[in-house]
Amino acid sequence: MNKKNVDTEPIRLNRYLAMLGVGSRRACDDLIASGRVRVDKRRVDTIGVKIVPGVNTVHIDRIPLENPPRPVVLLLNKPLGVVSTVSDPQGRPTVLDLCKRFARNKRLFPVGRLDINTTGAILLTNDGKLCYRLTHPRYEIPRVYIVRVRGLVDERKLKRLDKMTAPPGRHAGRRPGAQLVRGLERESILKITLHEGRHRQVRRMCQVVGLRVVQLRRVQFGPITIRKLPLGAVRPLEKNELEKLKRLAS
């Protein structure tokens, strides 16, 4: 895998903030225009500014997003109906609402997103640099999903799904990205592993091969699993889990 200077590539500030779950790009534009964002301690209010993650420091309301004094990484088993953003203009519950007891005096944000109808593993952190690396497709952090679909999955459909899961240039000699766990009378259960977090990717893949997703759950992010964590519960990562996660993103 080519990891050439990922942290020295310039990126638009609004995109960087959106990747950290601060909000949509439009919401981040509004945040920048309001003068609440600082880059290297200088206030920025111009849309289109570029920064280099890990080189430039970004603050919102004078709270740093990189290298926080006490880094926190949480694992949440997200339930249905909860949005994976810092705030929601429609007033729907957010992942931060479920983490209030850990978020006191900390600016936490989700590592990537799960759509409102998907449950399962989502990480939250106050470490912007770690979040950026975990969400950057070049690091190929695996995400594992269990998918219940309407209809039977034959070998042809399974091969098409598997092909869609492969990172660019990694088609040969890799582990299967789509596996049939169980075929039921009218439904099938699949295990799908992705290496980037594109919006509604699993649902769109299944739609392409004529399968309708009935239930979607992410059971693993990198080396971190939701095993034994009840739906709606949250916990800090254990020391060994955090070390494995950082090694994977280094």
By annotation, the residues acting in catalysis are 115
Convert 158-197 to b/e letters by CB count within 10 Å (16 or more is b): beebbebbbbeeeeeeeeebbebeeeeeebbbbbbbbbbb
HSE-CB for 221 with a 13 A CA cutoff: 31
- Which residue from 57, 76, 55, 79 is spatially nearest to 66, judged by alpha carbons? 57
Phi/psi at 135 (5° precision): -100, -10
Tokens of 227: 């095993």
DSSP 45-74: --TT-EE-BTTB-EEETTEESSS-SS--EE
Tokens of 62: 């004078």
